[in-house]
Structure 1
Amino acid sequence: MSILVYIEHSEGKVKKTSLEAVAFAKALSQQTGEGDVVAVALGTVSNDELAAVGGAGATKVLHAEDSRLDAGVIQAHASAVAQAFQKEQSKTLVLAKSSLGDAVAARLAIKLDAGLVSNVVELPKTNGEYLVKRSIYTGKAFAETKVTTDHKILAIKKNAIDLKLDDSKATVESFAVNLSDSDFASKITSTERATGEVLLPEADIVVSGGRGLKGPENWGMIEDMAKILGAATGCSKPVSDIGWRPHHEHVGQTGVKVAPSLYIAIGISGAIQHLAGVNSSKCIVVINKDPEAPFFKAADYGIVGDAFEVVPKLNEALKAEL
């Protein structure tokens, strides 16, 4: 018996959120004694990359190399993971909360007759009852969910656990899955991927700009800061709506919801819809010349000043330190 972790990868790299899921599973196994942590990876990714998952706590990775799984067809992924779950005689499946993970987890809950809890923020209480704390109302509150099923699926919110990697290597084992034509009844005809050095959903640091920057020609200082910090760039909804920045950078309730370790908001007033997309950030820094901007109420640190004066100086200071 083992705890199974469904890991996602992109462009040949295992996603950081999946490594966090592995670390969460490792801590859970130490708490409950459920055995080793086994990961399952689907599609084309190198064995060396998968072996490195051992640094987060997995002892073994089951690798289903079927290239048909590269497209991320939800039914096929759910079938493959279900087969891995049964092979390992697992009781618990852990995965990162994501657009793909949410869809796969919902189908697996039916296939495995499992209780599903999403947005999990800490290890469950397992003394007698099985109680799971999860984030609700876009991070404004928490709920404690009791799971009574024998099989359990936990979808972990980003940054729910501190990720510490070591040099341990996992054993990578080829895993043959039995997939039928019905698993591929849905076809993905095209995929448009966000571009950039650091992708917004995976970023540990996000630098966002709003209408206070006055135009797209002034985004250079935002991109400079992001490059210095190794961060992703984001923007408010009005900025993407008027075409200053691409829509995949829109952060907020109706855009991308982020939970980085550091979120820097420059020239953004802090409308409630934007705050709903960033309030899970560990630290929020706001730069705005309006001292009454609502964002300051949510900020851990704030600078009242003109972005065109503050940001270039801050960039120079960051270059000197980093």
Structure 2
Amino acid sequence: MLPPRPLYPVAARSHAACRRRPHYRRDRTRVSGARIDHGATHQPREGTAQGPARRARAALQPSSRGRTRRASRGGAAGALPDLQRGLHPGSRPRGTHGDRSAAESGADLTTEAIRLARLVHHALPENGEASGLLALMLLTDARRPASQDADGMLVALADQDRSLWRRDFVAEGTALLTRTLGAATLGPYQLQAAIAAVHDEAPDARSTDWAQILALYGTLERISPGAVVTLNKSVAVAMVHGPRAGLAELATIADDPAMRQTHRFDVVRGHLLELAGDAEGARGCYRRAIAATASTAEQRYLALRAARLGLGAGE
């Protein structure tokens, strides 16, 4: 499995297929008139609340245009300070193994980032992306107590002890997201927070609603396309349609310049190759990722992944 990554729920699981290709207009303040084709159908059980995918889709429906325009007048995503730009699930600072001061420093940075996000949200309470950013950071940091073991080894999301998660952060982040989705301009931070929500909604890894996560990534890719989004989406594709389908999705960004600047491409490819039963190919990817990352914690984690394949990481 991959190193721990951020995610959490808003309500019940739900998908609905829209058979028309999406058409939408993007500018600095709004996305309007879009219909989303998630390519999968899943009706919520009667009496359950709308899930993140349905809320996100509703926010882009023509019926929501009026509220979207009203919300955008209160402050656009472009109004967020530069210090908030570039934050992404998984970008939380981590300390290196065996270096307590570095780990504590990373935690301090995260705490400060959340404090600043609260200030932005307080200054722009009607801004959906300000709310989404704060929700995303809370839902991500809620996992920090379970993201490393006593020896400093990273613990994959699937293997984390969820009883250690900060439920106060989970509740606050979920409440922010619930109030925002469908009531403000839909943007990337809200969608990333909704993806985090679906992960956290699952009582265990086996119960994760990957179909809904894939639907949300499809929406995110439409309004904020990019190689990093496709990289993350490829894992959801693999979990829904199989590892070979995920590898095919990943291949579409293999030559993207952004992927040459990060070890994450090899981490994800190695994970998908491992799922597909190609242990030797997975080991090669993990070894390249080990060489490309400066994080001792990630190096140890990836070396362990390779060792568990029965091939060793240092050959």
- Scaled by the length of structure 1, the TM-score of the pair is 0.28
- Of Structure 1 and Structure 2, the greater strand share is in 1
- The higher radius of gyration belongs to 1
- Scaled by the length of structure 2, the TM-score of the pair is 0.29
- Of Structure 1 and Structure 2, the greater helix share is in 2
